[in-house]
Amino acid sequence: MTGPNVVIIYTDDLGWGDLGCFGSTEVETPHLDALAARGVRLTNWYSNSPVCSPSRAALLTGRHPAHAGVESILGAARTVSGLPAQPTLASRLADAGWTTAIFGKWHLGVAPESAPLRHGFGHHLGFRAGCVDYYSHIMYWGGQHPLHDLWDDDTEIWRNGEYLTDVITDAAVEFIDATPDPFFCYVPYNAPHYPMHAPAEAMAKFAHLPWERQVMAAMIAKVDDGVGRIVEALRRTGRLDDTIIVFSSDNGPSAEERNWLGGEEIAYPGGSTGGLRGHKGSLFEGGIRVPGIWSWPARLPRGVVSDEPAMMMDVLPTVLAAAGLSVAVEDEVDGVDLMPLLADGRAPGERMLTWEYEGQLAVRRGRWKLVIDPSDRLGRPRQPGRLLFDLETDPAETTDRSAARPELMAELAAAAAAWADDLERWRSAAIPAG
């Protein structure tokens, strides 16, 4: 089988404003900036959820989180099931002859029957739950007992003292060096998710920043170093031109108090939304709009910036189309093929983008977005109400336009009601987690 190699690099709690190519003046990301310069940078790129597990389910299945069967943050106990059995990007590519591997955070089930090898991946080095200490690879969470969580396939391994971002990068580079074409290499870094850990040399580069920004910048810089090494491995092995590279984040930056290391009980300001409202856990833009970069030198133009709205669930149908693989109607994939947009600038037509998280609802059509009962961030209560925003003139969602646009408000409210019906239909037909 011949076809493009696929590398998906996924970060954890990275804000829309935390890369140089997305406007940051504090975080240095030369390798990601170069990746964007070689491809297409998407400024209205969205996660399907403002939190981790549902976002990852949408990425790998091409479905809305409720349709994929994962709507909330999954737990860490070794008995926790996760993503229900269904085709994934990995299984579809593996069936067509691609060698598949994941290096890093899974967070779609900890139990053996939910591990990556049961969902189309031929190899996994990384951890299965939501977060771990970067050096001991142990999860510490509230009153729960500590849980060591580092695996080589189904074997627990111990790499005490090794910085996890580097462990992930090393394994991805080794895989690229050793694996014949075609392959799918999924690299879900856990950075810059808490706990906030970075090596001394990375911290020293940003010593001029306040600690909360210094450690965030250092963690992101280590990811950027990893991206540079992965790209160099592709170049060194002669595969860069015919490799699709997708870079993004699972949701917006976390403002949770547990990001602090001094016991502070105030919101953490380390991550940047680039001026957007809301954080992780919110359906305001800051919780769901994330960096999006696509590179494929053999097919995609260089240095293009697109403001067309698109979502994480579009990755699966786009990659499969690029690989010459079809998606049947009966597969019930919710995403759309973005290759005409990425390659030629042809938009897929006006879409209704939809989100739900813990009672919050949002729909976007064109420049207009309706948010229902929103929360500002994870752990904060919902604010009852319906807010209409013009994202073209007000991307920070500061001014509710519902009173001025009653007809539009009614149309989007009807769309939100239909979306709620879809959610209930999927939930009532849900298959058991596996």
List the one residue out of 47, 12, 66, 41 whose CA is nearest residue 311: 47
Residue with tokens 């935390």: 18
If one counts every other C-beta atom within 10 angstroms of the C-beta of residue 153, the result is: 14
Answer for the pair 320, 326: CB distance below 8 angstroms, yes or no.
yes
Any catalytic annotation for residue 21? no
Secondary structure of residue 218 in the 3-state scheme: helix
The HSE-up count of residue 382 (CA atoms within 13 Å, CB side) is: 15
Distances (CA, A) of 20 to 27, 30, 155, 224: 6, 7, 38, 11
Answer for the pair 190, 127: CB distance below 8 angstroms, yes or no.
yes
Any catalytic annotation for residue 107? yes
Answer for the pair 124, 107: CB distance below 8 angstroms, yes or no.
no
Instruction: Kindly tell me the burial class for residue 429, based on how many C-beta atoms sit within 10 Å of its own C-beta (0-12, 13-18, 19 or more).
Output: exposed
Secondary structure of residue 329 in the 3-state scheme: helix
Q: Which of 107, 124, 137, 279 is catalytic?
A: 107
Distances (CA, A) of 377 to 344, 360, 380: 37, 11, 6
Q: Please tell me the distance from the alpha carbon of residue 28 to that of residue 22, in angstroms, as a whole number.
A: 11
Quick one: which H or E segment has residue 355?
Answer: strand 352-357
Q: Which of 52, 64, 67, 279 is catalytic?
A: 52
Give catalytic residues, as residue numbers: 52, 107
